[in-house]
Amino acid sequence: MAVDFFDDRLLEDETALAGVDDLLRHLAEAGSRVRHEVNAATEAMAALANTQRPRAVVAAGSDARLLRAVLEPWCPVPFVAWPGPGLPGWAGALDLVVVIAPGGHSPDAASAAAEAVRRGCNLLVSTPAQSPLAESSASRSTVLLPTQTTDVLAVAVVALQALHTLGLGPEVDAEEVAEKLVESAVACAPLRNLGSNPAKDLAVELAEAVPLVWGGSVLAARAGRRVAEAMRQASGRTALAADADHLIPVIRGAGVNRSNDIFADPFEDGPAEQRPVLIVLDDGSEDTTVRMTRGRLLAEAEQNGVRHRVLSCHDGGPVSRYASLLSTGQYAAVYLGLGLGRTALPAGESS
């Protein structure tokens, strides 16, 4: 049952933790899902060996946003993300359309795949082999990467490996991604106590706060949006992920509205307004603009008395660091919901 206050004792209570075992187990198995999907697609990858470089790449369907975050800075040919139905009017036989639909039930992905077949585009589809989408997208120009899970991150890693094979994307070490997810699962495991568990510690920090999540690089910003979604769904409260220019007014407003009345009675005067906590996702980006913006945000938080937390992962490739930050944030969302007496499944790449 949901409660109006955060009870941190529930984070160490075995009975309470058993109530969210399915959610925690789902997160803990993320690494094994990545390994399983990569192994299942090994044979299909061989069909890409002699494929010619396309004129352009279209990543279609709503689940292709992670591909966009990885490919846009790297792809050597024009790249377009097309999250809605159909395809751009210019897409044709010289172009590659990439569709990932882990569950096989995405209307936008199905529309894009059908249009690609009609126009004779080269088509790379990552979806269950027995799904309607796989059947409708079958053609001489289609390569199917069969999936076994609804985990978007695991399926996206396979698609990214395929695009690297085609020379269209950076190398993504699937084993490294899986290992980062395993490391996160160990660090955030339910039986680890609050003092040594970064996810539980963050949940306590957010007990009576509004999370403001910021990530500077393209992938860190995407992780921030997914973490904020997870926290909203798990807690039923506001959580905001945005650019620095949108977060700074909120931080400054918190400083202006801060109460300095040390004699205020929270029982007589009612509950205090929830104050923001800034969560910075630091993936080790060396970009000058990212570093300057991160420093500016943290300085604003200090000046306005807003608490802040930095989640860092500087090891491994960009997708591995993304996976680590996302996983820790999702674990924190589960523990936040648990402390509030809620058991909603956190949204994100692993849902």
81 and 20 within one domain: no
- Both 134 and 210 in one domain: the answer is no
Q: Residue 346 falls within a domain, yes or no?
A: no
In a domain, 111, yes or no: yes
The domain tally of the chain equals 2
Q: Is the same domain home to 187 and 289?
A: yes
Give the closest residue to 55 by CA, choosing from 151, 122, 108, 115: 122
pLDDT of residue 347: 44
The pTM assigned to this predicted structure is: 0.91
Structural domain contains residue 3: no
Q: How far is CA 300 from CA 239, 272, 283, in A?
A: 19, 22, 20
- State the pLDDT at residue 273: 59
Cβ contacts of 8 within 8 Å, gap of 6 or more: 194, 204, 207, 339
Pair 71, 110 in one domain: yes
pLDDT, tens only, 252-289: 998 766 555 555 444 444 445 578 999 999 999 989 99
Taking the C-alpha atoms of 148, 152, 157 and 162 in order, what is their torsion angle to the nearest 10 degrees?
70
278 and 233, same structural domain?
yes
Same domain, 208 and 121: no
Instruction: Confirm whether 199 is domain-assigned.
Output: yes
CB-neighbour burial class of residue 76 (10 A; exposed 0-12, middle 13-18, buried 19+): exposed
Residue 165 counted as domain residue:
no
How far is residue 84 from each of residues 65, 69, 78, 128, measured CA to CA in Å? 11, 17, 19, 21
Residue whose entry in the numeric block shows the structure tokens 């970064």: 198
Q: Are residues 195 and 254 in the same domain?
A: yes
Residue 344 included in any domain:
no
pLDDT tens per residue across span 321-341: 999 999 999 999 999 999 999
Per-residue pLDDT, averaged over 148-168, amounts to 93
Domain with 93 in it: what CATH number?
A: 3.40.50.10490
Position 166 in a domain:
no
Tell me, yes or no, whether 193 and 54 share the same domain: no
Provide the residue range defining the domain that includes 224: 8-29+177-259+269-339
Q: Which of 23-32, 207-216, 253-262, 287-296 has the lowest mean pLDDT?
A: 253-262
